[in-house]
Structure 1
Amino acid sequence: MEKEKLRIDKYLWAIRLFKTRSQAADACDKSKVKLHGDNVKASKAVTVGDEYEVKTEAKRWVIKVTALLDHRVQYNEAIKYYSDITPAEELDRIQFQAATFHTGKRMSKQGRPTKKDKREIDGFMDF
């Protein structure tokens, strides 16, 4: 017996694209979830075979619903309920972004100086 109705916000939360269901609902409200190019409301019913375009903080996903999941499960299980059909150029962009922007160093001229910066400044001022 198939589940009667499953909301898109609950499905996106269950397959672990969003940490909370309210974040998934907010994404729907802010037009970050699309079905065939049209914005989707959080209450939209999900059916197997639908292809959604979802923008999260990390990346832009294109997913195809392979099965319905109404409760949160481990990641290893959750990935069985959708297939990731994100275009290759989007994946390349994400890898480039991760390689260049997350080096562990603070961007220059942003925020307070680190301890190392302060030591260098003190050493410079002492002559």
Structure 2
Amino acid sequence: MRIDKYLWSTRYFKTRNMGTEACKKGQVQINGQVVKPSREVYPMDKIKVRKNQINYELTVLDIPESRVGAKLVDIYRKDTTPAEAFEHNELLAYSKAYYRKKGTGRPTKKDRRDIDDYTDEETG
């Protein structure tokens, strides 16, 4: 089975085209080598996929006939992604949430005046 189809069928990508694009961008490796989308996948291959700033590492256990349900994915692959890969992503999400709540938009005129007053007090 092609690598792009395998990544689609094991639910790493929503569409096969997204898997193909990831391969073309060099975000997919098999056994340490960057691969084209047409590269065949065999059991016991080690795959690395970079998606959403996380480097997923997985081992191919079996080849599915077609796209499988989320509960059945573990039959076809073993996820060996280290826990540290997810911790960094959580920190980024926390820092963005702390800076400004989602949906609050630009500062209002009152917010702007409060900011100006605060900065004037610091300098003067």
* Displacement after TM superposition at 1:13 (Å): 0.4
* TM-score using structure 2 length: 0.75
* 1:73 equivalent in alignment to 2:68: yes
Q: Deviations over 1:34-84 (max 9, x none)?
A: 122211110111101001110112521001111111422221112331111
Note the residue ranges of structure 1 that are not aligned, 5 or more in a row.
Answer: 1-5
Aligned position for 1:48: 43
Q: Give % identity.
A: 30
Summarize the alignment of residues 1-127 of structure 1 with structure 2, pairs less than 5 Å apart. Answer: 6-57=1-52, 59-102=54-97, 105-106=101-102, 113=106, 117-118=107-108, 120=110
Note the residue ranges of structure 2 that are not aligned, 5 or more in a row.
Answer: 115-124
* Displacement after TM superposition at 1:119 (Å): 7.4
CA 122–8 in structure 1, closer or farther in 2 if over 3 Å, else same: closer
Q: Alignment partner of 2:91: what SS?
A: helix
| Cα distance between partner residues in 2 of 1:95 and 1:80 | 28
| Cα distance between partner residues in 1 of 2:56 and 2:103 | 28
* TM-score using structure 1 length: 0.74
Query: Residue type matched to 1:67 in 2?
Result: D
Q: Alignment partner of 2:26: what SS?
A: coil
Bigger drift between 35-44 and 16-25 goes to 35-44
Q: Which has the larger radius of gyration?
A: 2
* Displacement after TM superposition at 1:120 (Å): 4.2
